[in-house]
A and B are shown apart, each in its own frame.
Chain A
Amino acid sequence: EVQLLESGGGLVQPGGSLRLSCAASGVTFSSYAMNWVRQAPGKGLEWVSAISGSGDMTYYRDSVKGRFTISRDNSKNTLSLQMNSLGAEDTAVYYCALAIWTGTRPTYWGQGTLVTVSS
């Protein structure tokens, strides 16, 4: 059974930084691309970033380019999202999602971690 467990969320001031992690189990982690998808309170889903199974390809939505960095450690079955220069618009539940299909299209989702950007 695929399990994804996010951590690292919390309250951060505008302009601050936060690092999210996602621990995967029940799957050969390095074989699959991973995503971060966020959901602002009471809103819909917004894809944020993705990374290939090997980690050599990364993708970002325009609004986070230059501020967020996705990475993975396949030896530890862990996905990360380093978030810098955070603003109120980044407040959301962040889900990691594993892609079993070709490309990075999300399949299995974690339970999410809440990031709140507020002074």
Chain B
Amino acid sequence: DIVMTQTPLSLSVTPGQPASISCKSSQSLLHGDGKTYLYWYLQKPGQSPQVLIYEVSSRFSGVPDRFSGSGSGTDFTLKISRVEAEDVGFYYCMQGIHLPWTFGQGTKVEIK
């Protein structure tokens, strides 16, 4: 199985400040079709996960543009340009190139 490793595991951010989460995969997520299957999800307190970013850098419908994804191969980053109170929760990266889909351990984002 592909191992997904996120850092940091916890982040405390002042509102309005940026935040960044790293995700590394144990093997390349670049598929032969040219796409890279890396996803970011946010699980807000008491809620189910919701997708933020798909295929590394595409924002899902309704996701604010303060969220952005980047990276290639095995190294990926989720950035929040200006953290808001509603952004608290656990952020998970997921690889979608080989079953079983696997997730990072999760990064807890809190507001200072």
Contacts and interface: CB of A to CB of B under 8 A. Distances in A.
A47 B99 CA distance: 9
Interface residues of B, number: 23
Contacts of B101: 35, 47, 104-106
**Which 8 A-B residue pairings sit nearest by Cβ, starting from the closest?**
A105-B96, A47-B101, A109-B48, A45-B103, A61-B100, A44-B106, A47-B100, A109-B49
Contact of B50 (A50, A59, A61, A109): A109
A53 interface: no
A108 B62 CA distance: 13
A95 B48 contact: yes
Interface of A: 35, 37, 44-47, 50, 59, 61-62, 95, 101, 103-112
B100 A101 contact: no
B92 interface: yes
A38 to B, nearest CB: 11
Contact of B49 (A46, A61, A95, A101): A95
